[in-house]
Amino acid sequence: MILVFGKTGQVATELQSHKDVIAIGRGQADLSKPSTCAEAIRQYKPRAVINAAAYTAVDKAESEEGLATMINGEAPGAMASACADLDVPLVHISTDYVFDGSGTTPWSVTDTPNPKNAYGRSKLKGEQAIKASGSAYAILRTSWVVSAHGNNFVKTMRRLSETRDRITVVDDQIGGPTCARDIAQTCLSMAEQLIQEPTKSGTYHYSGQPNVSWCQFANAIFEQMDCQTIANPISTREYPTPASRPLNSRLDCEATQKTFGIARPFWRDGLVEILRDLEGEDDRA
Protein backbone atom coordinates (compact mmCIF):
# COMPACT_ATOMS: atom_id res chain seq x y z
CA MET A 1 0.00 0.00 0.00
CA ILE A 2 1.18 3.52 -0.84
CA LEU A 3 0.13 6.23 1.58
CA VAL A 4 -0.73 9.60 0.05
CA PHE A 5 -0.97 12.80 2.05
CA GLY A 6 -3.69 14.93 0.49
CA LYS A 7 -7.21 14.11 -0.69
CA THR A 8 -8.65 17.14 -2.49
CA GLY A 9 -5.66 18.63 -4.33
CA GLN A 10 -5.11 18.17 -8.03
CA VAL A 11 -2.40 15.50 -7.83
CA ALA A 12 -3.93 13.78 -4.80
CA THR A 13 -7.24 13.47 -6.64
CA GLU A 14 -5.51 11.80 -9.58
CA LEU A 15 -3.54 9.47 -7.31
CA GLN A 16 -6.74 8.14 -5.77
CA SER A 17 -7.77 6.61 -9.09
CA HIS A 18 -4.92 4.10 -8.76
CA LYS A 19 -5.20 0.85 -6.85
CA ASP A 20 -2.97 0.23 -3.84
CA VAL A 21 -3.27 3.90 -2.82
CA ILE A 22 -4.73 5.16 0.44
CA ALA A 23 -5.14 8.93 0.61
CA ILE A 24 -5.61 10.74 3.90
CA GLY A 25 -6.82 14.27 4.52
CA ARG A 26 -6.60 16.81 7.29
CA GLY A 27 -8.88 14.81 9.57
CA GLN A 28 -6.34 12.00 9.74
CA ALA A 29 -3.14 14.03 9.45
CA ASP A 30 -3.07 17.81 9.93
CA LEU A 31 0.06 19.19 8.27
CA SER A 32 -0.07 22.21 10.57
CA LYS A 33 0.63 19.64 13.30
CA PRO A 34 3.62 17.74 11.84
CA SER A 35 3.63 15.03 14.51
CA THR A 36 0.27 13.77 13.21
CA CYS A 37 1.91 13.06 9.84
CA ALA A 38 4.58 10.90 11.42
CA GLU A 39 1.93 9.11 13.49
CA ALA A 40 -0.11 8.32 10.36
CA ILE A 41 2.90 6.77 8.64
CA ARG A 42 3.65 4.60 11.66
CA GLN A 43 -0.01 3.58 11.85
CA TYR A 44 -0.41 2.58 8.17
CA LYS A 45 3.09 1.12 7.70
CA PRO A 46 3.01 1.70 3.91
CA ARG A 47 5.43 0.47 1.26
CA ALA A 48 6.02 4.09 0.26
CA VAL A 49 4.70 7.59 0.99
CA ILE A 50 3.74 10.33 -1.46
CA ASN A 51 3.26 13.85 -0.11
CA ALA A 52 0.78 15.57 -2.42
CA ALA A 53 -0.44 18.00 0.25
CA ALA A 54 0.81 21.55 0.65
CA TYR A 55 0.01 25.14 1.52
CA THR A 56 -0.41 26.51 -2.01
CA ALA A 57 -1.95 29.97 -1.51
CA VAL A 58 1.07 31.79 -2.91
CA ASP A 59 -0.10 35.35 -2.26
CA LYS A 60 -1.62 34.60 1.14
CA ALA A 61 1.66 33.02 2.24
CA GLU A 62 3.19 36.51 2.29
CA SER A 63 1.14 37.23 5.42
CA GLU A 64 1.07 33.64 6.72
CA GLU A 65 4.66 32.55 6.26
CA GLY A 66 4.76 30.82 9.64
CA LEU A 67 1.81 28.58 8.78
CA ALA A 68 3.11 27.97 5.25
CA THR A 69 6.48 26.95 6.68
CA MET A 70 4.86 24.57 9.16
CA ILE A 71 2.87 22.83 6.40
CA ASN A 72 5.44 22.98 3.59
CA GLY A 73 8.60 22.77 5.66
CA GLU A 74 8.20 21.04 9.01
CA ALA A 75 5.50 18.53 8.07
CA PRO A 76 7.50 17.00 5.18
CA GLY A 77 10.46 16.77 7.54
CA ALA A 78 8.35 14.82 10.04
CA MET A 79 7.14 12.52 7.24
CA ALA A 80 10.69 11.89 6.08
CA SER A 81 11.90 11.08 9.60
CA ALA A 82 9.10 8.54 10.04
CA CYS A 83 9.91 7.08 6.62
CA ALA A 84 13.56 6.76 7.63
CA ASP A 85 12.56 4.91 10.80
CA LEU A 86 10.42 2.43 8.82
CA ASP A 87 12.86 2.21 5.90
CA VAL A 88 10.26 3.27 3.30
CA PRO A 89 10.77 5.89 0.56
CA LEU A 90 9.11 9.30 0.36
CA VAL A 91 8.15 11.06 -2.87
CA HIS A 92 7.57 14.74 -2.20
CA ILE A 93 6.16 17.28 -4.66
CA SER A 94 8.02 20.59 -4.69
CA THR A 95 8.06 23.60 -6.99
CA ASP A 96 10.01 25.79 -9.40
CA TYR A 97 9.38 28.62 -6.92
CA VAL A 98 12.46 27.55 -4.98
CA PHE A 99 14.38 29.41 -7.73
CA ASP A 100 14.44 33.17 -8.26
CA GLY A 101 13.24 33.01 -11.87
CA SER A 102 16.19 34.87 -13.35
CA GLY A 103 17.68 34.26 -16.79
CA THR A 104 16.27 32.11 -19.57
CA THR A 105 18.16 28.83 -19.10
CA PRO A 106 16.13 25.89 -17.74
CA TRP A 107 16.84 25.32 -14.05
CA SER A 108 19.00 22.28 -13.34
CA VAL A 109 18.69 20.10 -10.23
CA THR A 110 22.21 21.25 -9.37
CA ASP A 111 21.37 24.97 -9.46
CA THR A 112 21.31 26.79 -6.13
CA PRO A 113 17.79 27.66 -4.95
CA ASN A 114 17.05 31.30 -4.20
CA PRO A 115 13.31 31.73 -3.55
CA LYS A 116 11.90 35.22 -3.89
CA ASN A 117 8.63 34.78 -2.00
CA ALA A 118 7.34 33.20 1.23
CA TYR A 119 5.81 30.20 -0.55
CA GLY A 120 9.11 29.38 -2.22
CA ARG A 121 11.00 29.73 1.06
CA SER A 122 8.58 27.40 2.82
CA LYS A 123 8.91 24.76 0.09
CA LEU A 124 12.70 24.98 0.17
CA LYS A 125 12.68 24.32 3.91
CA GLY A 126 10.70 21.16 3.25
CA GLU A 127 13.29 20.00 0.73
CA GLN A 128 16.10 20.68 3.19
CA ALA A 129 14.35 18.78 5.99
CA ILE A 130 13.78 15.75 3.77
CA LYS A 131 17.41 15.67 2.66
CA ALA A 132 18.57 15.81 6.29
CA SER A 133 16.25 12.99 7.43
CA GLY A 134 18.25 10.01 6.21
CA SER A 135 15.24 8.57 4.35
CA ALA A 136 15.16 7.34 0.77
CA TYR A 137 13.42 10.13 -1.12
CA ALA A 138 12.60 11.78 -4.42
CA ILE A 139 11.90 15.50 -4.31
CA LEU A 140 9.97 16.24 -7.50
CA ARG A 141 9.94 19.90 -8.49
CA THR A 142 7.19 20.69 -10.96
CA SER A 143 5.41 23.76 -12.34
CA TRP A 144 2.11 25.19 -13.58
CA VAL A 145 -0.08 22.27 -12.47
CA VAL A 146 -3.42 21.91 -14.25
CA SER A 147 -6.25 19.37 -14.23
CA ALA A 148 -10.03 19.01 -14.30
CA HIS A 149 -10.02 19.32 -10.49
CA GLY A 150 -9.69 22.19 -8.05
CA ASN A 151 -8.66 25.71 -9.03
CA ASN A 152 -6.17 26.11 -11.84
CA PHE A 153 -5.38 28.10 -14.97
CA VAL A 154 -7.24 25.89 -17.45
CA LYS A 155 -10.46 26.06 -15.48
CA THR A 156 -10.11 29.82 -15.01
CA MET A 157 -9.58 30.43 -18.73
CA ARG A 158 -12.48 28.17 -19.60
CA ARG A 159 -14.77 30.08 -17.23
CA LEU A 160 -13.66 33.48 -18.54
CA SER A 161 -14.24 32.39 -22.15
CA GLU A 162 -17.94 32.01 -21.40
CA THR A 163 -18.44 35.75 -20.96
CA ARG A 164 -15.45 37.52 -22.55
CA ASP A 165 -14.09 37.79 -26.07
CA ARG A 166 -10.75 39.23 -24.98
CA ILE A 167 -8.68 38.97 -21.83
CA THR A 168 -5.18 40.07 -20.85
CA VAL A 169 -2.66 37.47 -19.68
CA VAL A 170 0.95 37.76 -18.56
CA ASP A 171 3.34 36.99 -21.42
CA ASP A 172 6.81 37.33 -19.83
CA GLN A 173 6.59 34.39 -17.40
CA ILE A 174 7.78 31.24 -19.17
CA GLY A 175 7.37 27.65 -18.00
CA GLY A 176 6.06 24.19 -18.70
CA PRO A 177 2.38 23.51 -17.96
CA THR A 178 2.12 20.12 -16.24
CA CYS A 179 -0.96 17.94 -16.01
CA ALA A 180 -1.73 16.55 -12.56
CA ARG A 181 -2.49 13.13 -14.07
CA ASP A 182 1.06 12.96 -15.43
CA ILE A 183 2.53 14.07 -12.11
CA ALA A 184 0.54 11.39 -10.26
CA GLN A 185 1.79 8.64 -12.57
CA THR A 186 5.35 9.91 -12.22
CA CYS A 187 5.12 9.93 -8.41
CA LEU A 188 3.87 6.35 -8.40
CA SER A 189 6.61 5.21 -10.76
CA MET A 190 9.28 6.92 -8.67
CA ALA A 191 7.91 5.37 -5.48
CA GLU A 192 7.99 1.86 -6.95
CA GLN A 193 11.51 2.32 -8.27
CA LEU A 194 12.76 3.75 -4.96
CA ILE A 195 11.40 0.70 -3.13
CA GLN A 196 13.67 -1.44 -5.28
CA GLU A 197 16.56 1.01 -5.66
CA PRO A 198 16.79 3.55 -2.82
CA THR A 199 20.10 4.74 -4.31
CA LYS A 200 18.00 6.69 -6.82
CA SER A 201 17.23 9.15 -4.01
CA GLY A 202 17.63 12.79 -4.96
CA THR A 203 16.03 15.92 -6.35
CA TYR A 204 14.36 15.81 -9.76
CA HIS A 205 12.47 18.08 -12.14
CA TYR A 206 9.33 17.31 -14.11
CA SER A 207 7.28 19.67 -16.28
CA GLY A 208 5.34 19.59 -19.51
CA GLN A 209 6.74 20.54 -22.87
CA PRO A 210 7.12 22.75 -24.79
CA ASN A 211 7.79 25.77 -22.59
CA VAL A 212 5.35 28.64 -23.20
CA SER A 213 4.17 31.87 -21.61
CA TRP A 214 0.91 32.06 -19.72
CA CYS A 215 -0.56 34.07 -22.59
CA GLN A 216 0.50 31.45 -25.13
CA PHE A 217 -0.95 28.73 -22.94
CA ALA A 218 -4.24 30.63 -22.65
CA ASN A 219 -4.55 30.92 -26.41
CA ALA A 220 -3.77 27.21 -26.78
CA ILE A 221 -6.63 26.47 -24.38
CA PHE A 222 -9.02 28.66 -26.38
CA GLU A 223 -7.87 27.08 -29.62
CA GLN A 224 -8.48 23.59 -28.26
CA MET A 225 -11.91 24.67 -27.06
CA ASP A 226 -12.64 26.07 -30.51
CA CYS A 227 -13.94 29.30 -28.98
CA GLN A 228 -13.53 32.90 -30.11
CA THR A 229 -11.85 34.29 -26.98
CA ILE A 230 -8.36 35.78 -27.48
CA ALA A 231 -5.69 36.40 -24.84
CA ASN A 232 -3.70 39.61 -25.29
CA PRO A 233 -0.22 39.88 -23.75
CA ILE A 234 0.71 42.07 -20.79
CA SER A 235 3.85 42.19 -18.65
CA THR A 236 4.22 40.99 -15.08
CA ARG A 237 4.79 44.60 -14.11
CA GLU A 238 1.30 45.40 -15.41
CA TYR A 239 -0.23 42.65 -13.26
CA PRO A 240 1.14 43.15 -9.72
CA THR A 241 0.52 40.48 -7.07
CA PRO A 242 1.41 40.36 -3.34
CA ALA A 243 3.93 37.56 -3.98
CA SER A 244 6.59 38.01 -6.63
CA ARG A 245 6.36 35.45 -9.46
CA PRO A 246 9.40 33.97 -11.25
CA LEU A 247 9.80 35.01 -14.88
CA ASN A 248 11.76 31.87 -15.71
CA SER A 249 10.06 28.66 -14.62
CA ARG A 250 11.76 26.45 -17.22
CA LEU A 251 12.95 23.16 -15.68
CA ASP A 252 15.71 20.89 -16.96
CA CYS A 253 14.16 17.41 -16.64
CA GLU A 254 17.08 15.38 -18.00
CA ALA A 255 17.94 13.73 -14.67
CA THR A 256 14.38 12.42 -14.31
CA GLN A 257 14.55 10.70 -17.68
CA LYS A 258 18.07 9.39 -17.13
CA THR A 259 17.44 7.96 -13.65
CA PHE A 260 13.79 6.89 -13.77
CA GLY A 261 13.15 6.58 -17.51
CA ILE A 262 10.39 9.19 -17.32
CA ALA A 263 10.27 11.70 -20.18
CA ARG A 264 8.72 15.15 -20.19
CA PRO A 265 5.05 14.90 -21.18
CA PHE A 266 3.47 16.96 -23.95
CA TRP A 267 1.01 19.24 -22.20
CA ARG A 268 -1.23 19.54 -25.27
CA ASP A 269 -2.09 15.84 -24.92
CA GLY A 270 -3.03 16.35 -21.29
CA LEU A 271 -5.00 19.49 -22.13
CA VAL A 272 -7.20 17.51 -24.49
CA GLU A 273 -7.98 15.06 -21.69
CA ILE A 274 -8.66 17.84 -19.16
CA LEU A 275 -11.10 19.65 -21.44
CA ARG A 276 -12.81 16.37 -22.31
CA ASP A 277 -13.25 15.62 -18.60
CA LEU A 278 -14.66 19.09 -17.95
CA GLU A 279 -17.10 18.77 -20.85
CA GLY A 280 -18.20 15.44 -19.42
CA GLU A 281 -18.88 17.11 -16.06
CA ASP A 282 -20.97 19.75 -17.84
CA ASP A 283 -22.99 17.06 -19.58
CA ARG A 284 -23.70 15.33 -16.27
CA ALA A 285 -24.67 18.55 -14.50
**Between β-strands 21-24 and 2-5, what pairing exists: parallel, antiparallel or unpaired?**
parallel
Collapsing DSSP states into helix, strand and coil, what is residue 67? helix
Query: Contact, 99 vs 111, CB < 8 A?
Result: yes
**The one catalytic residue among 97, 119, 137, 206:** 119
3-class SS shares of the chain: helix, strand, coil, % to 5: 45, 20, 35
Say if residues 56 and 243 touch (Cβ distance below 8 Å). Answer: no
The CA distance from 271 to 236, in Å, is 24
Strand order in the sheet with 174-175: 212-213, 174-175, 248-249
Q: Where are the alpha helices (DSSP H) in 151-266?
A: 153-161, 180-196, 214-225, 254-260
Distant-in-sequence, close-in-space partners of 52: CB < 8 Å, separation ≥ 6: 4, 5, 6, 9, 11, 12, 15, 23, 93, 184, 187
Residue 204 annotated as catalytic: no
Q: Tell me the catalytic residues.
A: 119
